[in-house]
Amino acid sequence: MNVEIPVPQSPKALAPLVLVTGPSGAGRSTAINALEDLGYEVIDNMPLSLVPRLLDGAPPTRPLALGLDVRNRDFSATGLLEIIDNLETSAQTSGQLLFLDAAEDVLVRRYSETRRRHPLSPDDAPLVGIASERMLLAQVRERADVLIDTSDLSPHDLRADIDRWFGPSGGRKLALSVHSFSYKRGLPRGLDLVLDCRFLRNPHWDPDLREKDGRDDAVADYIAEDPLYEDFYAKVSNLIGFLLPAYKTEGKSHLAVGFGCTGGQHRSVALTERLAFSLAQAGWHVSKRHRELERRGKTARLGQKEGSA
């Protein structure tokens, strides 16, 4: 049974505004760059005194992200909190505060690795500046709409989190991501739905297919020959087709679906490719990530015709 995945509708919404701040070294620059890649107009190191003037102007026509740094001469926690209060009553902008944080020892290590001086303690140990900055931002942290602790995140992981929270949604489209992974390394962070496909026939046992991956037509065809494959995929499509309108109505901004298999190379990859392609063809904003292939540096597509599983 094949299910037609519904095409998303795009109701009107207030222009999104994201204020990005946090202690130095916690990943603010990475977050700002990720938002820019998502289509946000970005102004980094925005002087706090200029933010009200910007917001009092013409309503923004595209998503806007402002990077606010404690190093700016007019920065104050009180001033930022006033801006947040004003945004809550704004009739033309939907504002959110994104706060990037990390454990104190992690921030110290990052400064040691880069040999940079902390902006609040240029002539002293980084720990002194880190402690001062965290105290300065304590009240702001409490008001965060989205708080991301980057202590255990790589830049790639942080970008994925930014996409999950701020990717096209609300007034545009529900953002979807489809992941493949190996159960040996545990579940990827942030998955909403996890589907185990280890019951399908495994190309690993075919010497001609072992070194290939699920993006290869021969691998995908081998998996599809399993008698349970089409019924399984139809049921997954049916589930996704049922959930998408419900999640969109509820206001969910992101849905992450994961396919897991033993090695994260064949079955989960093939199913991820097929579902992601179907979602994209239906007009949804969809991204895909093959965790184990990324770890091995396998980023090129191998022998796959567009649209094949």
Q: Per residue in 232-243, pLDDT tens?
A: 999 999 999 899
Q: Is the pLDDT of residue 2 over 90?
A: no
Q: Is the pLDDT of residue 58 over 90?
A: no
Cβ-contact 65, 106 below 8 angstroms: no
CATH of domain 15-166: 3.40.50.300
Distance of CA 82 to the CA centre of its chain: 28
Q: What angle do CA 245, 247, 251 make, to 5 degrees?
A: 115
Ranges 24-28, 161-165, 303-307: which has the least confidence: 303-307
CA distance 86 to 60: 16
Ranges 5-19, 30-44, 95-109, 285-299: which has the least confidence: 5-19
Domain with CATH 3.40.50.300 in the chain: 15-166
More confident residue, 2 or 76: 76
Instruction: Work out the percent of the chain whose per-residue pLDDT is above 70.
Output: 80
- Listed residue (65, 66, 60, 67) closest to 15, CA to CA: 60
Question: For the residues 49-56, what does the mean pLDDT come to?
Answer: 83
Task: Return the residue matching tokens 């690795």.
Answer: 113
Task: Return the residue matching tokens 């040996």.
Answer: 184
The mean of the pLDDT values for the chain is: 81
Q: Is the pLDDT of residue 286 over 70?
A: yes
Q: Is the pLDDT of residue 247 over 70?
A: yes
44-48, 257-261, 276-280, 290-294: which has the highest mean pLDDT?
257-261
**pLDDT category, 309, cuts 50, 70, 90?**
very low
Q: Which residues contact 262 (CB under 8 A, 6 or more apart)?
A: 182, 183, 184, 198, 202, 204
**pLDDT category, 224, cuts 50, 70, 90?**
very high
CA distance 100 to 162: 11
Q: What angle do CA 99, 68, 17 make, to 5 degrees?
A: 70
C-alpha separations of 213 from 67, 143, 210, 285 in Å: 40, 45, 8, 24
Question: For the residues 134-143, what does the mean pLDDT come to?
Answer: 83
Q: What angle do CA 89, 171, 193 make, to 5 degrees?
A: 110
pLDDT at residue 197, rounded to an integer: 97
Q: Is the pLDDT of residue 269 over 70?
A: yes
- Listed residue (291, 293, 259) closest to 276, CA to CA: 259
- DSSP bridge pairs for 193: 257
Tokens at residue 190, please? 């942030």
pTM (predicted TM-score): 0.51
**pLDDT category, 152, cuts 50, 70, 90?**
confident
Task: Return the residue matching tokens 């509820």.
Answer: 250
Q: Is the pLDDT of residue 19 over 50?
A: yes
**pLDDT category, 120, cuts 50, 70, 90?**
low
CA neighbours closer than 13 Å in the CB half-sphere of residue 173: 16
For residue 91, count CB atoms less than 10 angstroms from its CB and return exposed for 0-12, middle for 13-18, buried for 19 or more.
exposed
